[in-house]
Structure 1
Amino acid sequence: MDKEDEIIKKAIVRNERLKLKQFLAEEDELAEPKKPWWPYAIAAAMLCVAAFSFWMLNETETQPDLYAAYYQKYPNVVSPLTRSAAEVSEKEKLYQDYEKGDYALAISGLELLKSDTAFLPCPKFDGVGRI
C-alpha cells in the first residue's frame, strides 16, 4: 500500500505542476509587454540639461556685483574709534584711517610701522585693506 500511495502522490504532484505551468504560460501570453525605460531616462536627462543651461545663461548678477553687494569690512577690534581721545598715536591713527575707509593711507602706515618691534600689526587689516 505504501508504494501505491507514493505513486499516487507523485502523479498528483506532477499533474498539479503541469496545471501550474499551463496557467503561468497563459498569464505570460496575456500579460502586457513591458515598456522600455530608456526613452524616459533620455527625456529626463534632456530636461535636466535644458534647465541647467537656462539657469546658467540667465544668471543676472556677476561675481563682482555679488562681491560689492555683500562685502563688509572687518570691524576694527584692535583700536576702535573713541570720541574723547585728545591725543592720537600713530597706531590709533592707522586704525582710524582703516575704519574711515582710507585703505591706501592705512596700508602705507602699516608699511611704515612694520619695522617697529613694539607694534605688531594685525595682518588681517593689511589683507582686507588691500582687497
Structure 2
Amino acid sequence: MTEQDELIEKYIQNKLSAEEALMVNQLLENDINFKTEFTLQTNLKKAVKKDDDAHFRNLISDIESKAKIESPIKRHSYAKWLAAAGIVLLLGLSYFFTMNQKPSTNELFASYFEPYRNVVQPLERGSDQQDKKTLAFLAYEKGEYEKAIALFTDLYTTTKEPYYLFYKANALLKLEKANEAVPLLLEHLKTKDTLTEKTTWYLALAYLKLNDKPNARITLKKVITEGKYKTTEAQELLKAFK
C-alpha cells in the first residue's frame, strides 16, 4: 500500500490527523491521479455501506465507462477497483452485509460524521485579513481543530454568538471528544440561529460516538420528525440499530 493509499484509507476510517487532513486537501487540489483514486475508493466504500444493489451497479457501470477512455495508468487504477467491486457483486450485497454483521456505533459514526462546512466566515485566498474570527475558521478549514477550538472558545466568551458553540462542537467531534461536544450542542439547540436545524443531527452522532444508543435513537427520530436536515441519513442509522 502506497502512502497515498494509506491517506485515503485513513480518510475513510475518519482517522486522519490534522496534518494528514491538510495533505489530503492539497493532493485533491493539485494531483489529478490522487483525486481519481480518492473518488473511486470513497464512492466504492459508500456504495458498499448502502444496502442498495442498483446504486452499487450504477457505480460499477460508471467505473467501466471511465476505464475505457482513460490513459493506461488510470485504466490500471479503474481495473483494480472493478475487481474489488466485482467480488462484492458476485457474492451479493445481502451476503456481504450478512457476513459483516451490524457495524459498531463507532463505525457508524465514522461513516456518517463529517464536520459541517464553514458558512459563517467565507475565506478569501490571499487576503491579509487576520482578525480572530478569520483565524478561527481558517484553522477549522485546515483541520487544525485544537487551534480552532481555542479560538471559538474565546470568541464565544466575547460575543456570545451561538454558532461558535456549533463549530466548536464539530471540531470536538472530529477529535473524538463527543463527551465535550454534547453539552455544547444541547446549549446550541436552545438558540435560533441559521445553524440550529443542523444541530440535532450532530447531537445524534455525538450520542452514537458515546455508544449511547437510547439517546441516539431518540435524537435521530427527532431529526426525521423535523425533516429539515439529514433525514435520509437518520433513517439509515435507525435501520442500522435494528
TM-score of the aligned structures, taking structure 1 as reference length: 0.48
Higher normalized helix content (fraction of residues): 2
Give 1 or 2 for the bigger CA radius of gyration. Answer: 1
In the superposition, the TM-score normalised over structure 2's length comes to 0.28
